[in-house]
Every structure is written in structure tokens, then in C-alpha cells.
Amino acid sequence: MSQSLEITSDLQRQDTYMRILDAAERLFRHYGYAKTTVADIAKDLGMSPANIYRFFTSKVEIHQAICGRMLQQSIALAEEAASMPGSAEERLRHYTLAHFKFTVDTMIDEHRVHEMVIVAIERDWSVIDQYIDTLQDIIARIIADGMASGEFPIGDAGASARAFGAATSALHHPQLVAQCINKPNRATPEELTDFAICALKAPR
């Protein structure tokens, strides 16, 4: 009986946690991160600010959780590309172009979402570093497959993944995407992707 009550309590706590995140993200999108307070989030949910603080110590922590959830969608895209059939080159191209579209659709077209991500980047939160590490690990797996199949010269897949990520960062970093999108004097996503893949194929 007590175990059943504990499970119910845990589910209720998880439900409240997710409701807080959903409400906060909705308000951040509508009013902007800077203009939204913990009291606003509590009012939207019909609860007291004290109840919010049972789950999060501050608005910053709520923001971190929302950004972490958003970045998980990006990681899922990378995992999808890594698990696709086809060559390593095809998977890298799919990853890069799908990630570019995700960045535009999720972090650029919706201005206040872009604001949330920029705040996270400028504060250099650990969630961003962990996200970059995870993406690089996934890219390294694809590159290692390419090395094993003879598509790419044998080398350090981790170092190649870091270089590939840096070379294509203008397609994935929200600030760079916002600055470069639709400018005729910038490389297109396809051109930049082809360039980075050619670099992987170059003899070491």
C-alpha cells in the first residue's frame, strides 16, 4: 500500500514539474524571458510562488530546464541521423541540414525562444557544454563508421567530429544562423556541408 502511495506521489510530483515547465515556456514565448517572473508562472497555474520554489530554486533554474528540454529535441535529430541506413557521408549531410532547419524553425523564427537560447549561451551554462559534448559524440560515431568503411581516412574520429562541428557551426549556432541566414555573400547550408565533408575525405 505504501509503495502504491509513493508511486502516486512521484507521478503527481512529475506532473506538477512538467506543468510548471510548460507554463513557463508558454509565458517566456509570449512575454519574453526577461519580462516573466516566477509570480507570473505561479498565477498562470493557479498556485503560489512558494509551490514553484518547491521544484525550482529560481527562474534561472526553470530556464535551464526548458532549454535542456529543447536541446534534447536537437539531440534526437542527431541520433536519428546516426541510426539511418546509408553511408556516413549521407548521414552527416542529413544531420547537418536537418539540424539547420531545426535551428531556424525552433530558435530563429520564434524571436522570444531565440532570446531564451541566447541567454543560456551567454551564461555558459553546463547544459550547453553537455549538449555540445553529446552532439560531438554522435558525430564521432558517424565519422568512425566512415573511417571503418573506407569513406574517410583513418584518424581520430573525436578530433574530426570537433573540427566538423566547428566548420558547420554557422548552420547550428542560433546567433550565427540569425546573422547569416538569407545573406547572398554567405555559403549556403549545402555548400558548407559539402566543404566540411570534403575536408573529412582529404588525406591525412
pLDDT band at 181 (very low <50, low <70, confident <90, very high): confident
Q: Say if CB 59 and CB 42 are below 8 A apart.
A: no
Q: 48-87: per-residue pLDDT in tens?
A: 999 999 999 999 899 888 888 888 888 999 999 999 999 9
pLDDT given for residue 193 in this prediction? 96
Q: Judge if 43 and 104 occupy the same domain.
A: no
d(CA 136, CA 132): 6
Q: Is the pLDDT of residue 5 over 50?
A: no
d(CA 197, CA 204): 14
Q: Which domain holds residue 41?
A: 1-56
Q: Judge if 63 and 105 occupy the same domain.
A: yes
The grid coordinates listed for 3 are: 509503495
pLDDT given for residue 113 in this prediction? 63
Higher pLDDT, 24 or 116: 24
Residue 86 sits in a domain whose CATH number is 1.10.357.10
Q: Judge if 48 and 63 occupy the same domain.
A: no
Q: Is the pLDDT of residue 4 over 60?
A: no
Q: Judge if 139 and 192 occupy the same domain.
A: yes
DSSP state of 170: G
Residue 19 sits in a domain whose CATH number is 1.10.10.60
C-alpha closest to that of 164 among 106, 86, 73, 95: 95
d(CA 95, CA 77): 7
Give the distance from CA 84 to its chain's centroid: 20
Name the domain count of the chain: 2
pLDDT band at 112 (very low <50, low <70, confident <90, very high): low
* Residue 196, burial from CB neighbour count under 10 angstroms (0-12, 13-18, 19+): buried
Q: Judge if 105 and 33 occupy the same domain.
A: no
d(CA 157, CA 24): 39
pLDDT given for residue 108 in this prediction? 66
Q: Judge if 163 and 76 occupy the same domain.
A: yes
Minimum mean pLDDT range among 12-26, 36-50, 73-87, 122-136: 122-136
Q: Which residue in this structure is represented by grid cell 547569416?
A: 180
C-alpha closest to that of 135 among 169, 108, 177: 169
* Residue 150, burial from CB neighbour count under 10 angstroms (0-12, 13-18, 19+): exposed
Which of 35, 56, 77 is the C-terminal boundary of a domain? 56
Q: Judge if 107 and 145 occupy the same domain.
A: yes
Percent of the chain clearing pLDDT 90 (strictly above):
54
DSSP state of 181: T
Which of 37, 56, 75 is the C-terminal boundary of a domain? 56
Q: Judge if 68 and 147 occupy the same domain.
A: yes
Q: Judge if 23 and 94 occupy the same domain.
A: no
Q: Judge if 2 and 23 occupy the same domain.
A: yes
pLDDT given for residue 34 in this prediction? 84
Q: Judge if 65 and 153 occupy the same domain.
A: yes
Which of 38, 56, 74 is the C-terminal boundary of a domain? 56
Minimum mean pLDDT range among 19-23, 36-40, 102-106, 121-125: 121-125
Q: Judge if 29 and 68 occupy the same domain.
A: no
User: What does pTM read for this prediction?
Assistant: 0.78
Residue spans of alpha helices (H) in the chain = 2-31, 38-45, 49-52, 59-83, 88-103, 111-123, 126-149, 157-167, 174-180, 189-201
27-54: average pLDDT: 91
d(CA 111, CA 123): 19
pLDDT given for residue 64 in this prediction? 84
